[in-house]
Each structure stands twice: as structure tokens, then as C-alpha cells.
Amino acid sequence: MRQNPSPVALAGPADIPSLDRVLGAAPMQALLDAYGRTQVVAGLRDHLAALRADALAGRLVSGRVETGAIVHELAAALKKATEPRLRVVYNLTGTVLHTNLGRALLPDEAVASVVRALTAPANLEFDLDSGGRGDRDDLIEDLLCELTGAEAATVVNNNAAAVLLMLNALADRREVVVSRGELVEIGGAFRIPDIMKRAGAKLVEVGTTNRTHARDYEEAIGPRTAMLMKVHCSNYAITGFTKSVDVAEVARIAHARGVPMTVDLGSGTLLDLTQWGLPREDTVRDTVQAGADLVTFSGDKLLGGPQAGLLVGRADLIRKIKKNPLKRALRVSKLTLAALEPVLALYRTPEFLPERLTTLRLLTRPQRLIQAAADRLRDTVQHAVGAGYAVQAAPVFSQIGSGALPADHLPSHALAIRHAGSGRPGRHLARLETLLRGLPRPVIGRLADDALWLDLRCLEERDEPGFIAQLAQPLA
Ligand SMILES: *Cc1c(COP(=O)(O)O)cnc(C)c1O
């Protein structure tokens, strides 16, 4: 026998209090103090209109027209509407330099410097020696030259901008010779042929996808050639029957014909990373020494700093680049310079880098420490996800990310969460992934092989208390 549900008392439009009456109610004061009158009145107006619509539709439960209930619902709506859109998350994807999660994390020195420079006037373009106008590039040029062995340096908003500017300043309506094996696309909108077109340069492709020879470059040089260019194959590797021409040889070919040779290095590491057990990657200094006339690279990849595009190389070419109007359009803010200077300065003391440069600290974190974290956190996560899932600590490989050394992997440790029941696990894992993403500080993992993987490389010990606290309650 089915019983009738108990009747619910409904309210009509006339039962809804006026805006002024709710505004004058004592519990409103806290909302007015927190959100200000403008937002509160607008929010309240919307809320009362919604109540009226529900009343007319015959579905307004009488309890909702009481002042306490209205204030409560309004508070929730205001909180939701005013939450910052940019939120911090836990990056447990296993990709350290994750472009969608903001790439490199700044070291404390850089953060402190940004706060100082943004809350007080600073000598951004003011020469403190002469009292005259300064150039914002001067703040980091000497340091960049010292660290790379280049004659001169400049900085723009990101490496894509650096490449665009370099091509426009040096190759407008002229030809740029690039190997077909290096016509890369880096994350969606950055494709070398497109950037080339936008910069006004004419791309001259040489060689084939897998093999390019010195003679290919030699034969491509003509009266309209502005430069020979090499591009780091950041996010893929060509293996098998391959041949490419190294920077030194392309530079020699270019110089023999009186044209410059440039390199888009992508990540641009400043020091040999093999000393910390990481894979070998040509440094900016190596590339300058090999004869490149200009090298461009990112600030927020392996370098570990803020988003920026750095250009280093021959003084006459840098001067030309700085005179190009695009330089002004692509210039960096003081925020960037304030962060970049202390990060570059850290490289003067390489012995401290693995501890102080956040990116390097994460990349070199020993697997045994990550495994210990997995063992410490397993029970917490198991309790939070409930008996419907099984949580196991398991070895995995992390990736550097952002196209750096795509074929190389770092031994790490993860919590692997699998659906405990029978049947297809996909839906259950997707649901769990959504719940973790919905936490106050979203936890971002990686779905693969019928498991949700939480790679703990980037969850440092100081992050653990916060991570544990929000998993204290079982997930819904
Ligand atoms: C990442 C990358 C870029 C783009 O750099 P952004 O700093 O993201 O603009 C350009 N070229 C190469 C080779 C890269 O690896």
C-alpha cells in the first residue's frame, strides 16, 4: 500500500516579503558587511523574483519565504557568484610543467619580489644612476648575458611572442629556411608555419620529415634569405632512420653565406640538468656557443620562472629587435620582471637550485620520498573514496611536460584508484574524478588503464595537511 505524501504548505506571491523588509532584517547586516549594498540588493532582487516565479507556478514551499531562509539562500548565492574563477588545485597529473595548470611554480623569492614591486613604486624604466629614463630590459639583461654567454638580451610576453618578434624584425618579406622535421605545432595555436606567415616571413622548407642534410640548407640559401632557423622538436621525437643537422653546422653554413642563424629552443635550460639526474638537453649557453646568433626560449618551462619569452644573442640583432614596434606591443609587465630577476639570480648558486627552484625541486624529488607520501596518504584517500573503490600505492612515471624532453620519464609513485565492483569501471571512475575536481581545492588526477592515478610527485610535504583536511569527510 502506498501512502500519500504528507501535504506540503505552499506560499503565494503575497506571502513574499518586500525587498525593503528583508534588507532591514537584522541577519542581513552580515551580508551587507561582506558583500556591500550594491551586490546584496541586486542578489536579493533576483532571489525574490525567483521566489515569485515559484509561487506563481504553485511550487513555493512556505518555509522559503521566512526571512531567515531568504538570507540563508541569498548568502549561498552570493558566495557562489563571488568565488574567484582562478583557483588553486592539486596537480596530481604527473606532469610537472602542466600548461593548463599554469606551468612553473614560482619560488618564494620571486613571489616576495612580485609583491614588493606591485605594492610600491619601482624603477621599472627609471635609471637610478642618472635620474633619467631607463629601459625595462636593463633589469635582467646583464643577468641573462652572464647566464647564457650571449652579448645582449631582451624579454617579451612569452616564447611564441619572442619567435614572432624575431621573425618580423629580421625576416619581414624575406625567406627563412627551416627543416621539414622541425615544422612543429606546440599546443594548439602555435605552429611554426603560421607564426612565420603572421610575421611576414616566407618559409622555405628543406629536407624531409625524417632527414635533413647540410646540403639541403646550403642549396636553399639565396639573395632573399633572411636567416636559417632551427626549432626544438619540443613535444615529439623523430626516431628511426633520421638525420638532422646540428646547430653548429647550420650556423657554419649560414655564416659562410653571411646570414644569421637562429634557434627557437623552447624550454631553454640554463644549466646541464644531467648533474641532477635529469635527461640531457642542450642549454642556452651551448646553443650560443655553437654559433646561434639568436636563441629564444620560455620563462616558465624548465627555467622555472614566470611566463615570458627570452631572446638572447648578437647585440646588433637584439638592437634591431628592440626597435621593432612589435616589441612595444609584446613587452612584459613589471610583474613579470619582478618575478624573473630573482629566478635568474638563483642560477648563480647552482648548488642551491634543487632546493630553491620549485620546478627543479619537483623534477628531482626522489622516488622513495614520493613513495613514502603514497604510503602515508593511502588510508586517507581510501576512507574518502569509500569501499566502492580500492586504493593502492603503485610506481608510475611522471613527465616533465610543456614539451620538454617528451620521451623521458621520471620514476614516481601514485595512488591508483580502481572501481571495486564488477562491470565497466569507466562511469564510476569518471564520477570519482568529478568529485575530486569539485573539492574546495580541486584534485586533478589522470584517468588511464581503468584507474584514476594520483601521482604524488607535485604534492609536497607542506601541502599534505591541506590535502588530508579536505578528504576528512567521505566524498559524496
Ligand atoms: C613552448 C614552445 C614555444 C611556445 O612558448 P610559450 O612560452 O608557450 O609561448 C615555442 N617554441 C617551442 C619550441 C616551444 O617548445
Residue 295 exposure: Cα atoms within 13 Å on the Cβ side: 32
Check if the beta carbon of residue 102 is closer than 8 Å to that of residue 94: no
As a whole number, mean pLDDT of residues 426-449 equals 96
Lowest model confidence (mean pLDDT) among 51-65, 375-389, 420-434, 454-468: 420-434
As a whole number, mean pLDDT of residues 206-227 equals 95
The pLDDT of residue 433:
97
Does ligand 1 lie within 6 Å of residue 97's CB atom?
no
Is the pLDDT at 225 greater than 90? The verdict is yes
Print burial letters for 94-125: b (CB count within 10 Å at least 16), e (below 16): bbbbbeebebbbbbebbeebbeebeeeeeeee
Reported residue count of the chain is 476
The pLDDT of residue 430:
95
Where is pLDDT greater, at 4 or 291? Answer: 291
Distances (CA, A) of 475 to 145, 249, 395, 456: 52, 59, 25, 20
Does ligand 1 lie within 6 Å of residue 283's CB atom?
no
Residue 302, classified by CB atoms within 10 Å of its CB into exposed (0-12), middle (13-18) or buried (19+), is buried
Mean pLDDT (the chain, rounded): 94
Phi, psi of 383 (to 5 degrees): -65, -40
Where is pLDDT greater, at 21 or 236? Answer: 21
Predicted confidence band at 268 (pLDDT cuts at 50, 70, 90)?
confident
Does ligand 1 lie within 6 Å of residue 403's CB atom?
yes
Predicted confidence band at 109 (pLDDT cuts at 50, 70, 90)?
very high
The rounded percent of the chain whose pLDDT value lies above 70 is: 97
- The residues, ordered by sequence, that sit 6+ positions from 111 with a Cβ below 8 Å of its Cβ are 339
The pLDDT of residue 5:
59
Where is pLDDT greater, at 264 or 408? Answer: 264
The pLDDT of residue 239:
77
Does ligand 1 lie within 6 Å of residue 160's CB atom?
yes
Is the pLDDT at 298 greater than 70? The verdict is yes
The pLDDT of residue 102:
96
Does ligand 1 lie within 6 Å of residue 269's CB atom?
no
Check if the beta carbon of residue 280 is closer than 8 Å to that of residue 272: yes
* Residue 37 grid coordinates: 549594498
Which atom of ligand 1 is found nearest the CA of 298? 7
* Residue 453 grid coordinates: 592515478
**Centre of ligand 1 from the C-alpha of residue 129, in Å:** 36
Mutate to test the pocket of ligand 1, among 166, 264, 295, 302 (most ligand atoms within 8 A of CB): 264
As a whole number, mean pLDDT of residues 356-381 equals 97
Where is pLDDT greater, at 91 or 209? Answer: 91
The rounded percent of the chain whose pLDDT value lies above 90 is: 88
CATH 3.90.1150.110 for domain 90-99+364-470, yes or no, is: yes
Model pLDDT for residues 156-190, shown as the tens digit of each residue: 999 999 999 999 999 999 999 999 999 988 766 78
Does ligand 1 lie within 6 Å of residue 159's CB atom?
yes
Phi, psi of 103 (to 5 degrees): 55, -135
Is the pLDDT at 467 greater than 90? The verdict is yes
Question: Same CATH fold, 108-356 and 90-99+364-470?
Answer: no
As a whole number, mean pLDDT of residues 144-157 equals 98
Is the pLDDT at 49 greater than 70? The verdict is yes
Predicted confidence band at 1 (pLDDT cuts at 50, 70, 90)?
very low
- The residues, ordered by sequence, that sit 6+ positions from 114 with a Cβ below 8 Å of its Cβ are 106, 335, 338, 339
Predicted confidence band at 406 (pLDDT cuts at 50, 70, 90)?
low
As a whole number, mean pLDDT of residues 441-461 equals 97
Predicted confidence band at 422 (pLDDT cuts at 50, 70, 90)?
confident
As a whole number, mean pLDDT of residues 182-210 equals 89
Lowest model confidence (mean pLDDT) among 139-143, 229-233, 328-332, 454-458: 229-233
For the structural domain made of 108-356, what CATH number should be given?
3.40.640.10
As a whole number, mean pLDDT of residues 94-115 equals 97
Is the pLDDT at 3 greater than 70? The verdict is no
Is the pLDDT at 407 greater than 60? The verdict is no
Predicted confidence band at 384 (pLDDT cuts at 50, 70, 90)?
very high
Alpha-carbon span 288 to 283, nearest angstrom = 9
Name the one residue in this structure whose C-alpha cell is 523574483.
49
Does ligand 1 lie within 6 Å of residue 64's CB atom?
no
Domain positions in the chain:
19-82, 90-99+364-470, 108-356
As a whole number, mean pLDDT of residues 331-357 equals 97
